[in-house]
Amino acid sequence: MDIHQLKVFVNVVDARGFLSAAKKMHLSQSTVSAHIAALENELGKKLIRRTPRIFEVTREGEKLYKYATDILALHEKAVREVRGEENLLLKIGTSSVPSQYILPKVAGAFLEKEKGIRMEVVCRDSMKIIERVEEGSLDLGFVGTKTESVCTFFPVAKDTMVLALPATKEYRNLLEKGDLAEILKCPYLIRKEDSGTLRESMESLSELGLSEKDLNISVIVDNAETLRHMIVEGIGISIVSRHSVSSLYRQEKVLIYPLPAENFSRNIYLVYRPENFQPEIQKSFIRFVMEYFTT
């Protein structure tokens, strides 16, 4: 097992496919397949299952992925420090909602102010971002929930959650009746448990006396974009960020049931480790974000 094999493996998992990873790394698909096969042979475990229609990371593959990302992050950190590049790179994690509506604006403004800085952005679910900031493989992150953690969570924006429904005649009729309990009997789509939106929406539903067992859960997905497409295609309903479906609503591809703002609003947070020693560029970015969202 070497660094390059691990890098190929991580890219395959991130890209959810061998061909996509090969294109990204400028390798042939056969080379990528050979690296994964070599890892599987060395470890004696199947890491990825794939068919023409299915791509699945096994439990052993998930374990290796976590170690591999840590190893690659530490390897890159060592190289940057030895080369004297450490203070020029910010490694930022972001969950799905802030990746679209928060980070691009603040990153653009910061890079305009601080010339010569590079950013490496990783998109994952909120809980994974928090975990990676805690362990130090990311410098900081933007997430849609907070946890008991060694990290500091600084609120940067408010996000309202709504119930999104397919724009069909059946769902329009339900929406007109306005009975939330009746609407929630429809097939329900959820993100995987690491999603900040899922975590916050379940907590908000509990305030209304509802729980996950009261939902007719039909599909669990690990990708916010896939979930939105499924709503558009009429597969079911879901509680999502208003930001994430606003354009679909304007295009009349989804319907929106507004939920009580006092229950279904949340903060988007900047998350970072409050260490005594931080690279100056990291401190500068944290200060910039705080000023950007408080002025």
Place of tokens 């790394």: 25
Average pLDDT over residues 253-272: 90
**pLDDT of 86 higher than 60:** no
Predicted pLDDT of residue 99:
92
- Residue 105, amino acid: K
Does the predicted model carry a pTM greater than 0.85? no
DSSP 8-state symbol, 87? G
Mode of pairing for the β-strands spanning 265-272 and 238-241: unpaired
Average pLDDT over residues 46-58: 85
Predicted pLDDT of residue 142:
96
**pLDDT of 85 higher than 60:** no
* E strands, the chain, in order: 48-50, 55-57, 89-94, 118-123, 140-143, 152-166, 187-191, 216-221, 238-241, 254-258, 265-272
pLDDT band at 60 (very low <50, low <70, confident <90, very high): very high
Beta-bridged to residue 268, according to DSSP, are 157
E strand or H helix at 169? helix 169-177
Average pLDDT over residues 237-255: 92
Residue that wins the pLDDT comparison between 100 and 251: 251
Backbone angles phi, psi at 271, to 5 degrees: -120, 135
Predicted pLDDT of residue 37:
92
Predicted pLDDT of residue 178:
85
Average pLDDT over residues 274-295: 83
Q: What is the percent of the chain with per-residue pLDDT over 70, rounded to a whole number? A: 94
pLDDT band at 87 (very low <50, low <70, confident <90, very high): low
Predicted pLDDT of residue 276:
57
Average pLDDT over residues 188-196: 78
3-state SS, residue 174: helix
**pLDDT of 8 higher than 80:** yes
Give whichever of 99-103, 114-118, 203-207 has the largest mean pLDDT.
99-103
**pLDDT of 81 higher than 70:** no
Q: Quote the tokens at residue 155.
A: 């609120």
Average pLDDT over residues 262-282: 83
**pLDDT of 102 higher than 80:** yes
**pLDDT of 83 higher than 70:** no
pLDDT band at 84 (very low <50, low <70, confident <90, very high): low
Place of tokens 């800085």: 117
Predicted pLDDT of residue 238:
93
CB 231 within 8 A of CB 166: yes
pLDDT band at 194 (very low <50, low <70, confident <90, very high): low
Q: Quote the tokens at residue 153.
A: 């969570």
Mean pLDDT of the chain: 87
Burial of 16 from C-beta contacts in 10 A (0-12 / 13-18 / 19+): middle
Residue that wins the pLDDT comparison between 261 and 22: 22
